[in-house]
Amino acid sequence: MKKFLERIDGTRLLLHPGAVPGMRVPGMIFADEYIASLREDDNAILQVAHVATLPGIVGYSFAMPDIHWGYGFPIGGVAAFDAEEGIISPGGVGYDISCGVRLLASSIAAKDLGRVVDKLLPALFSAVPSGAVSGGGKPLSPKDLDQVLEGGVAWAVKHGFGTEGDGEHTEEGGCLKGALPGEVSERAKDRGRTQLGTLGSGNHFVEIQMVDEIYSEKDAARLGLIPGCVAVMIHCGSRGLGHQVCDDALKIMRRAMGHYGIDVPDRQLCGVPVSSEEGQRYMGAMRAAANFAMTNRHVIADAVRRVFKAFFPREPLYTVWDVSHNLAHLETHRWEGRKRTLCVHRKGATRAFAGLPVLIPGSMGTASYVLVGTPQAEESTFASTCHGAGRTMSRTEALKRTGAKDLLRSLAKRGVSVMAENLHTLGEEAPEAYKDVSHVVDVVQGAGLSLKVARLRPVAVIKG
């Protein structure tokens, strides 16, 4: 594989066609020497090459600097497919449909937070159900669940969670149009019925942060980010409902591919034409799961606000932005001189339209970043950038290397308090299991895909 990789400049590697048989386009990997040095094997690069073989792919098979091995597509992978000639693939979206990030900001001074954080953190932990639980959230009737799946955060606002202004600061206004609740299986609905407002486990978190450094005063002021003040970042997705939607679609598409004459190098890359009946059914179910995920973050944010209000009644938290990083969108982009309607898959990758916020979470104990998208991203990567730090070791390996007690002591020395539902698995998310997020952010800035606005330093975290 290495002989097919060519460094173009300090932030880009080109993967030439020929790396695997049948590549229709080259691969483009955003990586500096640091990122490239962490690639212990070629599994993720092989996935970039395999994605490049899929029907209807346009431009490149992209990989962001947080690239690591995933299901079918690499995590950090971006691929756009012609809406008429290309496919849609659940492996290009992922199991946690619309996993994403919501950022809340405030005018609360970090020094004032320090006086109450020992009481505030347990209150947050009690208010936001976490862990790999089957329930614990807001119980939904079948009618209410369908309304969430179709209407997104508008349902939550109607029922007293958050405000309409939150929806205005959420991707797509907090609702993907064209969602089809009827295409979400009863099994998926059963899994999600009691999970709205729950955090889940793994790398999901609610993190109290401090605005530590400003890189663009103009953009920071526009977004309401004040140096030395408190922010809260929420990272989670569609829970069991989204997982089941993905699982259901994979089974259907594996059976349907032969009918459309589609052959893939890895069964995890199964897909069908975007315009096919199966493709449209999955698109409708995926959008419904995304609406559930956005509403989930919205309801969690409401719980966070209520806790903060008890400690800081006159200093509200407001939504800066909410954006997903596991979705496929139908978008219009100009490529090779003409406008085209494309199905853009972003798996562990974030939209980066010019001027819109980009939220890049760190890895529990390391900084997170706020950036903005650029015209160059729209022109070169179909408005896409990275989504986080990106793992360098598996969860199993991280657990072998890092015990929970050692990790808690290490984080405490850095000034970070942690509460977790399951301390045994806390080591999975040790900062050492991830790339240096600052390097990842520097790569996308160096490549012109997004520009730094602010750095956020962690103060306290709740984990599943």
Q: By the 8 A CB rule, do 319 and 294 touch?
A: no
d(CA 113, CA 209): 10
| pLDDT at residue number 363 | 84
Please state, in angstroms and rounded to a whole number, the distance separating the CA atoms of residues 27 and 91: 17
DSSP 423: G
pLDDT at 155: 97
Question: What's the pLDDT score for residue 39?
Answer: 64
403-451: per-residue pLDDT in tens? 878 888 889 888 999 998 877 778 888 888 899 999 999 999 999 999 9
- 3-state class of 103 per DSSP? strand
pLDDT tens column, 161-200: 999 999 999 999 999 999 999 999 999 999 999 999 999 9
CA count, 13 A, side-chain hemisphere, 161: 22
User: Hunting for tokens 């999955």 — which residue is that?
Assistant: 282
Within a 13 Å sphere around the CA of 114, how many CA atoms are in the beta-carbon half? 8
Q: How far is 75 from 348, CA to CA, in rounded Å?
A: 5
CA contacts within 13 A on the Cβ side of 18: 7
pLDDT at 235: 97
φ/ψ (deg, to 5) at 70? -140, -165
Residue 134 has what pLDDT? 59
262, two tokens: 């589609």
Rounded to whole angstroms, how far apart are CA atoms 246 and 384? Answer: 22
pLDDT of residue 209: 98
Q: Compute the distance between CA of residue 165 and CA of residue 174 in angstroms, rounded to an integer.
A: 10
Mean of the per-residue pLDDT values of the chain: 95
Strand partners, 257: none
Cβ within 8 Å of residue 135, ≥6 positions away? 194, 195, 198
Catalytic residues: 387
Asked if residues 296 and 53 have their Cβ atoms less than 8 Å apart, the reply is no
Element containing residue 34 per DSSP (H, E): helix 33-37
Give the count of beta carbons closer than 10 Å to the beta carbon of residue 355: 12
User: Can you list the alpha helix ranges (DSSP code H) found in 169-313?
Assistant: 186-192, 217-223, 239-256, 277-311
Distance CA 159, CA 287 (A): 21
Q: Who contacts 48 (Cβ-Cβ below 8 Å, separation ≥6)? A: 15, 27, 29, 61, 62, 63, 67, 74, 77
Chunk the chain into consecutive blocks of 10 residues (it has 464) and report each block's average pLDDT, rounded to whole numbers.
91 96 98 83 90 98 96 97 97 98 98 96 96 80 98 97 95 98 98 96 94 98 98 97 98 97 97 98 98 98 98 97 98 94 98 98 92 98 96 83 83 90 79 90 98 97 88
